[in-house]
Amino acid sequence: MNQADVLDLLRSGIWAVIWAATPPLVVALVVGFGISLMQALTQVQEATLSFVPKIVAIMVTVVLALPFMFHVLSGFWEEIITRIGGVPP
């Protein structure tokens, strides 16, 4: 395995993590923006109003997106195993 193979594997790993983390991060962004907008409009500044709905939304999203996340990460691990099998001793 040379330096180009290692860099390609690292690049694939970074992209796999980015794709797997995208659904919860997008939901957190949208819910956080909505709650912040609601708090700014109503002038209710309570910390739990922003924290609890985001946590619930992220947990629901992780449960719903778990098959997608598993597919992305298992594809990456299959690529790693394939490359390990192709390395000469």
CA distance 35 to 54: 9
**pLDDT the model gives residue 51:** 87
**pLDDT the model gives residue 11:** 95
**pLDDT the model gives residue 2:** 80
CA distance 58 to 2: 39
Render pLDDT for 14-43 as a digit per residue (tens, 0 to 9): 999 999 999 999 999 999 999 989 888 988
Residue 21 CB neighbours (<10 A): 13
User: pLDDT tier at 88 (50, 70, 90 boundaries)?
Assistant: low
Matching residue, tokens 């098959």: 67
Answer positive or negative: Cα dihedral of 11, 55, 23, 77. positive
The residues spanned by each domain of the chain are 3-80
